Structure 1
Amino acid sequence: MSDLHKLFLKRIKERENSSGLNTLSEDADSDIEESYHSEQMNNISPLYRTRNLGDDKANIEILEHLESEKNRLFPIQEKCYDPDSNISFQTYFSPPQGNNAPIFILHHGAGSSSMTFCKLTEALTKSNTAGNKVPGVFTFDARGHGNTESDKNINYSLSVLTRDCQFVLNSFLQKHVSDSSLFLVGHSLGGAVFTNCLVEQKVNSKNIRGLVMLDIVEETAVRALNSMPAFINKRPASFLSLQACIDWHIKEMHLLHNEESAKLSIPDLLNRKSSHYYWKTDLKETSPYWPSWFTKLSENFISCGSNVAKMLILSGHETLDTNLIVGQMQGKYQLVVFNNNPKVGHFLHEDISSQIAITLMDFVRRNDNPEDYMKNELGFIPKWGGKINR
């Protein structure tokens, strides 16, 4: 191995460690048998077998870009240790600017990480509420995901994920938040976790004003779980470069449509071991817990948090189940659908982050202080007792 190659490897390891990508030592190759490598190569998509790790410069550039954007968007990055579960949760916080500016609390879905919200965070923090207040954003990596440090044999049941969320949020609120209004935004499984948090009422805050679910409908989600084994089997076990994994998401599977966002979200899903990049989260390990994830989600979403405004944002027209149809007719939540756009998929907060940010900010303006919204933006003052019932 040349000195130049060693220097490249050293730089990659430094970048990966700082970005949460765990690496093995230079001697790790000797610990991995050739038969193992052959088996893994068979699991790599043929389109990406030729995209080898030789372009170390490209991997370094992707990691440096991720690290730079992560630090810019989330100036406060802390570990939150839970002694009961022995898990150290990685948290990210962009503080609000302005007295009592609202805070968005974001929760990612299964197999994802906090970095899926980078572009949404950027768009939100460029937005202003009344009085030029800039909203804050808080998010964290769930157990077994991202840069959260978890033990083996992880329990991914909804009840346990809910408890984790309650612990992290209560720790965050105790340390950072006073009177800011809070708006919970959960993507896919994250929406189910937040809904369950409100059902159990164990988050120590009376300032939760809103709950938003991104692209999740109970019946659709339950049906989708039936196809998950096929998806997992089709998913390459490893990639030879970060760009190869990005290309797989965008060009082969069409899971993402925004490469700028993918270059921030995808590298955070991978660990480098020897000459390959492997998934941090083994989705097969989550399969025993799938039945618990979305059971009674629609009913709970409609009924939870009597004083909490709700919104469901979908990437396309899905068949709403009975609870959601009745709830919409009764005005229990707002429904927003982004359809007729081939560039919008399940990760709509990545694909069209600016549009999602605009939708969320409008939701905040209408529900954080309804009286002011009606007076300042609609031009009239409510007459039924002067108060708006949320």
Structure 2
Amino acid sequence: MSDLQRSFARAKLAGLPFEPPPPPNHLVENEEDDEIDDLKPLPEAPDDDSSSASSASSASSTGTIRPSPSKHLFARPKGFSNRKGSEPLPWNDYFTRELYLKFARPTENVTYHAYITPPTAKGPLLVTHHGAGSSGLSFALFASEIRKALPDAGVLSLDARGHGETVVEKLEPSPSDAAPDLSHEILSQDLLDVIQLTEKEMKWSELPGLLLIGHSLGGAVVTDLAKSGKLGNAVLGYAVLDVVEGSAIDALQSMQSYLLTRPKNFPSLSSAIEWHTRSRTIRNTTSARISVPSLLRLDPSQPSANETKTWTWRTDLAATQPYWQGWFAGLSKKFLDAKGGKLLLLAGTDRLDKELMIGQMQGKYQLQVLPEAGHFIHEDQAEKTAMVVADFYRRNDRSALVLPPKVGDLLKANAAA
């Protein structure tokens, strides 16, 4: 087109009124429809068993959406109830049986309570120890997932003293016995007793290969037992979940403040489950439905005639304060020095202290980080935790090793020939 033609076209177009093209039919809004149309009630959200869905909610992109004031886009419809998603789930969907193991000491009689799914064939036994205030059922969903990754594996998950259904009867009670002795020495001995009593109860000729797995306080306990060497060569390795000496001791300073923010009781187990998930203490709804009911009991201070029942905590965490420092002091050195494979599973690398950072650079242990999980890493991300532990077991499975014969044995065989 020549310059003359371009000038002529511009002059013609300038004289025409501007009329934008009509929008597509599917974008045309009828004002009348806009007044009477409303969103249909949202269906009840299905119970999402995936830990990734629950843990990702804080980073959800819905925070950037601005719905119209006339459209209550995120409002719950009338009659909405999430009761189905907060009902307790039975333990026997995740373990094959429960154990009541009795043990007598000079000063006390103990009935240890534990859950077990025995190993099959020559599979390993994963022995799990929960954190302070939790119970053996905190590993229930993990136990189900690990069986998918390692079908022959078994899981033994105990209730520590002062937790769950484990009962300690003092033979000569004193006022100081009001709170249970939760020193790390006692807890480590309890874990050893539970393993040995389970061996007798299950009538095993010998212990299967053991993986010791502990969360928070439980991580300190399994590390102490592994360091003691009392289980000999049965221990293939040990895993510590989301606890590091330095950050754990620092966190103790705010522990009392945290306990003051917790409700002292709940009107129902379902309300307790909802509190744990809404506060994101536990980010996986399914795991909360299994583990939370075991943390509570009917309030014994209520009159029996009172029809309104309330549920209170089984474990008085504030009363355990004298033991907090002892649980974690020296943990990093024990973790690095104990024999066996070592796994540290964290929710963030910021939890590493100097000693562990040096050990990690020297390749002394396996480090895995799951940043999408909270502190209850084995509940929030049960499937991923199981995959990491299964890989850790395969790396440390001595049954798969074929060692060459010793030189002495070869010389003897040649001499005999």
Distance in 1 (alpha carbons) for counterparts of 2:100 and 2:189: 17
Aligned pairs (5 A) from 1:33-182:
62-63=87-88, 65-66=89-90, 70-84=91-105, 85-98=108-121, 100-128=122-150, 133-151=151-169, 152-176=178-202, 177=204, 178=206, 180-182=208-210
| SS of aligned partner of 2:112 | strand
Paired position in structure 1 for 2:411: none
CA distance change for structure 1 residues 90 and 319 in 2, over 3 Å: closer, same or farther?
closer
Aligned to 1:39: none
For the residues of structure 1 that align with 2:140 and 2:114, how far apart are their CA atoms?
A: 13
CA contact (8 A) 1:126 1:134 kept: no
- Correspondence for 1:309: 341
Given the alignment, which residue of 195, 212, 223 partners 2:250? 223
Residues 1:199 and 1:261: Cα distance change in structure 2 (over 3 Å) = same
Of 376, 389, 393, which residue of structure 2 is paired with 1:364? 393
Show the counterpart of 1:284: 318
Amino acid of the structure 1 residue aligned with 2:313: W
Tell me the SS of whatever aligns to 1:77: strand
Which residue of structure 2 aligns with residue 334 of structure 1? 366
Offset at residue 316 of structure 1 (A): 1.5
Alignment correspondent of 2:53: none
- Quote the offset at 1:244 in angstroms: 1.4
Aligned partner of residue 274 in structure 2, secondary structure: helix
Distance between the aligned counterparts of 2:216 and 2:207, measured in 1? 28
Q: Kindly state the Cα deviation for residue 354 of structure 1 after the two structures are TM-superposed.
A: 0.5
**Cα deviation digits, residues 143-183 of structure 1 (max 9, x gap):** 00011113443111111111111211222234434352110
Q: 1:334 offset after TM fit, Å?
A: 0.5
Residue 227 of structure 2 corresponds to residue 199 of structure 1: yes
| TM-score (structure 1 length as normaliser) | 0.73
Q: Deviations over 1:110-137 (max 9, x none)?
A: 0000111111001011223xxxx52100
In structure 1, C-alpha distance between the alignment counterparts of 2:140 and 2:191, rounded to whole Å: 20
Q: 2:381 and 2:267 mapped to 1: Cα distance? A: 29
The answer to whether structure 1 residue 297 and structure 2 residue 319 are counterparts is no
How far apart are residue 191 of structure 1 and its match? 0.7
Q: Give the match's secondary structure for 1:166.
A: helix
Shift of 1:361: 0.5
Please tell me the residue identity of whatever aligns with 2:125. Answer: I
Q: How many residues align?
A: 303
Measure, in 1, the Cα distance between the counterparts of 2:164 and 2:273. 16
CA shift for structure 1 position 214: 0.4
CA–CA distance in structure 2, aligned partners of residues 368 and 155 of structure 1: 35
Q: Is residue 321 of structure 2 the alignment partner of residue 321 of structure 1?
A: no
Which of 259, 274, 290 is the matching residue for 1:264? 290
1:271-324 C-alpha deviation (Å, 9 max, x unpaired)? 01351000000001101111100000000000012xx00010001122422221
**Counterparts of 1:263 and 1:319, CA distance in 2:** 28
Distance, in Å, in 2 between the alignment partners of 1:82 and 1:153 is 20
For residues 185-204 of structure 1, what are the alpha-carbon distances to aligned partners after superposition, in whole Å with 9 as ceiling and x for unaligned? 1001001001111222223x
For 1:185-196, list aligned pairs within 5 A: 185-196=213-224
- Which amino acid is the alignment partner of residue 245 of structure 1? A
Q: Distance in 2 between matches of 1:161 and 1:82?
A: 14
- Which stretch shows the higher mean deviation, 171-180 or 110-119? 171-180
Residues 234-285 of structure 1: CA deviation (Å, up to 9, x unaligned): 111101111211121121x311111111011101100013510000000011
SS in 2 for 1:256: coil
C-alpha separation between the residues in 2 aligned to 1:264 and 1:81?
Answer: 25
Amino acid at match of 1:285: A
1:89 CA drift (Å): 0.8
* Structure 2 match to 1:183: 211
Equivalent pairs: percent with the same residue? 36
Q: Write out aligned runs for 1:225-240 (5 A).
A: 225-240=252-267
**Distance across 2 between alignment mates of 1:215 and 1:291:** 17
Task: State the distance in 1 between where 2:220 and 2:167 align.
Answer: 22
Aligned partners of 1:146, 1:192: CA distance in 2, in Å? 19
Q: Structure 1 unaligned segments of length 5 or more: list them.
A: 1-54, 376-380, 386-390
Give the conservation status (yes or no) of the 8 Å contact 1:162–1:196: yes
Change (3 A) 1:254 1:109: same
Deviations 1:210-232 (A, max 9, x none): 11000011101001111100011
**Contact 1:213–1:313 at 8 Å: present in 2 too?**
yes
Aligned-partner SS, 2:387: helix
Contact kept? 1:106, 1:139, Cα under 8 Å: yes
Give the structure 2 partner of residue 355 of structure 1. 384
Letter in 2 for 1:201: G
3-state DSSP class of the match of 1:81? strand
1:41 alignment counterpart = none
Task: Give 2:40's aligned residue.
Answer: none
Secondary structure of the 2:149 match is coil
Contact in 2 for aligned 1:246/1:263 (Cα 8 Å): yes
Separation (CA, whole Å) in 1 of partners of 2:399 and 2:370? 25
| In the alignment, structure 1 residue 209 sits paired with structure 2 residue 241 | no
Instruction: Confirm or deny: 8 A CA contact 2:199 2:207 kept in the other structure.
Output: no
